Amino acid sequence: MDYDAKRREMVETQLKARDIVDARVLKAMLEVPRHEFLPPELRDVAYGDFPLPISENQTISQPYIVALMTQELELKGQEKVLEIGAGSGYQAAILSRLAKTVYTMERIPALAEHAGSVLRKLCYMNVNVMVGDGTLGLKKHSPYDAIIVTAACFKVPDALKEQLKEGGRLVIPVGDEWGQALIKITKSRGELVERKICDCAFVPLVGEDGWKE
């Protein structure tokens, strides 16, 4: 399987052909080997235009959604970014190419461990995988220039609003368990300005300020 060719085709037909225009995001999507983050039996379809299952009943988002959410974070290279929902570690790998430091939180220890080992193997050394409840954010390293939540919320967790830097961007799916709106929140002079990006469907964010198990 020629994964590099598949990845080039993905960038052309799924990202450039739609509305992904940030050259740095396109470069990261071209470089990060998405197949490495998937179980062996799914690697051949790693570059398809759809989400895929990972272990523990979780999913890795469709490449286009990863690129779109990343583009909305407006990363230039010097940022500290928080991701909630490490899952496979793929989204964190993309972020690691575009920001200075990435913290990614995962509530399921086995997933966090696996994501960490793939990220280390690929030498993405500026990513820190943390086990914990991301609905409470990660106060210790706050505030963040950008926060991305890759699991669905019925409301925006308060901690994430608080841990966003002035001028910072928060991208988060908000809705019910069947479907959500992908929302971008910008903190501007202490006020939170909200804009809807598109409709989406994510697995639930489970935690103290999220859904119960």
Torsion (CA) 60, 62, 68, 70 in degrees, nearest 10: 20
Judged by CB under 6 A, the stretch of 14-22, 138-146, 167-175, 202-210 that binds ligand SAH is 202-210
Q: Amino acid identity of 172?
A: I
Q: CA quadruple 103, 93, 90, 182: dihedral positive or negative?
A: positive
DSSP state of 158: H
**Considering the complex, what minimum distance in angstroms separates the CB of residue 21 from ligand SAH?**
22
Tell me whether residue 15 or residue 111 sits nearer to ligand SAH (CB atom): 111
Does residue 46 contact residue 1 with C-beta atoms inside 8 Å? no
Among 106, 124, 175, 183, binds ligand SAH (CB under 6 A): 106
Does residue 161 contact residue 136 with C-beta atoms inside 8 Å? no
Judged by CB under 6 A, the stretch of 9-17, 81-89, 158-166, 183-191 that binds ligand SAH is 81-89
DSSP state of 11: I
87: contact with ligand SAH by CB under 6 A: yes
How many residues touch ligand SAH under the rule CB under 6 A: the total is 25
Does residue 153 contact residue 57 with C-beta atoms inside 8 Å? no
- In the annotation, is 142 catalytic? no
d(C-alpha 16, C-alpha 83), whole Å: 24
111: contact with ligand SAH by CB under 6 A: yes
Among 14, 70, 71, 88, binds ligand SAH (CB under 6 A): 88
d(C-alpha 74, C-alpha 84), whole Å: 17
73: contact with ligand SAH by CB under 6 A: no
**Phi-psi domain of 142 (left: phi exceeds 0; alpha: psi -120 through 50; beta: other):** beta
62: contact with ligand SAH by CB under 6 A: no
**Considering the complex, what minimum distance in angstroms separates the CB of residue 85 from ligand SAH?**
3
Judged by CB under 6 A, the stretch of 6-14, 15-23, 79-87, 179-187 that binds ligand SAH is 79-87
Q: Which residues does the annotation mark as catalytic?
A: 61
Q: Which chain residues interact with ligand SAH by CB under 6 A?
A: 58-61, 84-85, 87-88, 90-91, 105-108, 111, 133-135, 150-151, 203, 205-207, 210
